[in-house]
Amino acid sequence: MRFLDSLRRLDAYPKIDNEFSIRTVSGAALTLISTIVIVILVIGEINAYLSPNISEELFVDTTRGHKLKINLDFTIPRISCDYVSLDAQDSTGEQHLHIEHNIYKRRLDLEGNQIEEPKKEDIQASTKRISSTEAPATTTLKPACGSCYGAERNASQCCNTCQDVIDAYRERKWNPNVEDFEQCKNSKGGSVEGKAFSEGCHIYGTMEVNRVEGRFHIAPGKSFSINHIHVHDVQPYSSARFNTTHKINTLSFGEQFGFGTTRPLDDLMVEATEGAMMFQYYIKIVPTMFVPLDGPTLYTNQFSVTKHQKSVTAMSGETGMPGIFVNYELSPLMVKYTEKRNSIGHLATNVCAIIGGIFTVAGIIDSLLFTSIHVIKRKIELGKAS
């Protein structure tokens, strides 16, 4: 019995008989409010426990072997698809001309409505010409052979159309002047040149490039190289006639995930205030690794962008050509996001802290209210209340 008496003295929770306890309206109100607050906070803690915790790390990017995937979706409302080229080049010198084999083009009218289904062109497509080793086809009529104006590869090559002459010049890496070609003078008004400004173009798709610094651009005219210099042939028009107003529906690098700055340029509409406007986007790409709780690791990229525009008309004195130019550079650092589950011990600790803390604070408030009300009543009874 002495041991039990000694142990009873350690009780930190002394009990009071019901006949000595007093129940008040203020205490009941505090109890209801405390219970509601506890339920709300506990539900929030359970929700936080079920949601994965995401930790961030920053380290030097040492990954290798990954290609850079570019997802793009541009609308050029004032230049036809036949007069728009998409070209890409990286810092290693690897250049890709006419990469329509990875990109779809959809013809649009000036109102933005689709004219026909999107087409995917082949980079290998080229104008067919007769080789000197090929046997001539048997025919009773031999059509006239148009001149290639010195650009023919052999004596049997003919250039019967304006496009044949232009292709022959490009194979020679010469700059064609269509005004000097008789075939171009006889071309019909309903040709490609005739609809250059009567349609728009929707360019979209993906392409994979080397994971190094590079650039790509969408510009009017056919692209080719002359003495290792990349040029665009916009003849028979001048650069000032091209309206490079555009809308960036989507531009991203890699896969999309639920957070982070992966698409800051989406739905950006840019109006060209005059002809021959050059729009430049300087993009800083941050490689990003996302490790989910379930599933494979996702390699993607976040990026920030700086925009610049200028007029490149002859009167402005600026160099360049009209179009949309995107220059991207990769950061040497990588961001790693890792999903982690919260521990059950952390949840239990927070729930106990919520329940104990709220009931303790509510008890202090109830004690202050009860004491204050009791003192006021005593003064009223003694007639000392003012």
Q: Which residues of the chain have pLDDT under 50?
A: 98-100, 122-142, 188-192
Residue 212 confidence (pLDDT): 85
Judge if 355 and 228 occupy the same domain. no
231 domain-assigned = yes
Residue 140 confidence (pLDDT): 38
Judge if 85 and 114 occupy the same domain. yes
Residue 58 to residue 337: CA distance in whole angstroms = 9
Judge if 259 and 319 occupy the same domain. yes
Judge if 216 and 350 occupy the same domain. no
Residue 210 confidence (pLDDT): 81
Q: How many domains are there within the chain?
A: 2
Q: Which residues of 41-79 are buried (b: 16+ CB within 10 A; e: fewer)?
A: beeebeeebeeeeeeeeeeebeeeeeebbbbbbbbbbbb
Residue 194 confidence (pLDDT): 54
Residue 355 confidence (pLDDT): 92
Alpha-carbon torsion, ordered 259, 265, 269, 273, to 10 deg:
160
70 domain-assigned = yes
117 domain-assigned = yes
180 domain-assigned = no
Across the chain, which distance is largest between two alpha carbons, in Å?
A: 135
Judge if 213 and 345 occupy the same domain. no
Judge if 312 and 368 occupy the same domain. no
Judge if 207 and 236 occupy the same domain. yes
345 domain-assigned = yes
Judge if 352 and 324 occupy the same domain. no
Backbone dihedral angles phi then psi of residue 35, each to the nearest 5 degrees: -65, -45
Write out the two tokens for 222.
Answer: 């056919």
Residue 139 confidence (pLDDT): 37
Judge if 266 and 280 occupy the same domain. yes
Boundaries of domain holding 332: 60-125+203-339
Residue 185 confidence (pLDDT): 64
Whole-model pTM? 0.65
Judge if 265 and 335 occupy the same domain. yes
Judge if 349 and 244 occupy the same domain. no
Q: How many CA atoms lie within 13 A of 250 on its CB side?
A: 14
317 domain-assigned = yes
2 domain-assigned = no
Residue 190 confidence (pLDDT): 41
| Conformation bin of residue 151: beta by default, left when phi > 0, alpha when psi is -120 to 50 | alpha
Judge if 100 and 230 occupy the same domain. yes
Omega before 264 cis (within 30°)? no
Q: What percent of the chain has pLDDT over 70?
A: 79
174 domain-assigned = no
Task: Report the sign of the C-alpha dihedral through residues 359, 364, 365, 369, in that order.
Answer: positive
